[in-house]
Amino acid sequence: MTIRPRASLTASQLVPQISPLQQHASRSFSRSAVCQKKGKDRGAAAAAGGQKEVAAGGRSKKGQQAEPKEDKPAHGGDKNRPQPNAEDPFDLADVEHSFGRVSEKHEAQLKLMRTGGRFNPDTIGALPVRPDKNAQVTYPLRELAQVVVKGGRTVSIMVSEERLVKPVQSAIMNSEDFNQQPQRAEDNELELLMKVEPERADALVKRAKDILHRWREDVRAERHKRDVVHKKWKDDKVITTDDKRKLDKDLQKLQDARMGILATKEKEVLNYIASREGN
């Protein structure tokens, strides 16, 4: 019997043929993200990859220059705040700007207290609400409901969805400022009603003094930030000892002027509360 030599297979014959249906069902690796390892293996792989890039002179695997990390905005993200300038150390525009921002914040709080107190729609609307009790995510009440004062003694809270009614009720009940359970309106299940409770004069005085105390603390904190800058400039020999002494005096004058404004503001607020109590 003659044995025929076996024909050699071509590369195309070695690859199994895939039907169009199988090709569609199979995973497309050109479009899918690379599967990452879990747990420590994934963290180790990421760290190793980062070390390789650093060792290559800060270049990525494609040979491109690695982008530097974006610097976080200084001073709480206030992009408009002037920065201390060592070339002009006696320019205190950054401190004046910060004092102004602090004043705007606490002036707004005092205004809310005088125009409706705790039951001002803005105050109620700022309460944090947690729609899902199993999650830590919260939203301002104003994003979930509409708050309107009705008739002077009632506040209406129109909730956008039925599932949010109980979370809104809980947020108000758990608030130290209100501590009352809003009642559902008889003709609308999405409407909650709050009873406006007049505040006693002593409670208003306490709230006003708390706001003014935080205001003073914020002023001192902003001044301290600039103190740290002066010390660094002195240590780096950017300014002389005499320069630092003069800068500290100028900074103290700014703080004293701001504290004087606060003392006047406190008298105005307390007089307002006393006059309202007398009427």
Residue 10: its pLDDT value, please? 43
Does the pLDDT at position 257 exceed 60? yes
Task: Tell me how far apart the alpha carbons of residues 81 and 84 are, in angstroms, rounded to a whole number.
Answer: 10
* Mean pLDDT across 106-126: 79
The per-residue pLDDT for 140 is 94
In this structure, the number of other CB atoms found within 10 A of the CB of residue 178 comes to: 20
The answer to which of 12-16, 113-117, 182-186, 264-268 has the lowest mean pLDDT is 12-16
**Domains of the chain, start order:** 93-108+200-278 (1.10.132.20), 116-195 (3.30.1360.40)
What tens digit of pLDDT does each residue of 205-255 get? 888 999 999 999 999 999 999 999 999 999 999 999 999 999 999 999 999
Mean confidence (pLDDT) of the chain: 76
Helix (H, G, I), strand (E, B) or coil at 114: helix
Asked if pLDDT for residue 29 goes beyond 70, the answer is no
pTM: 0.55
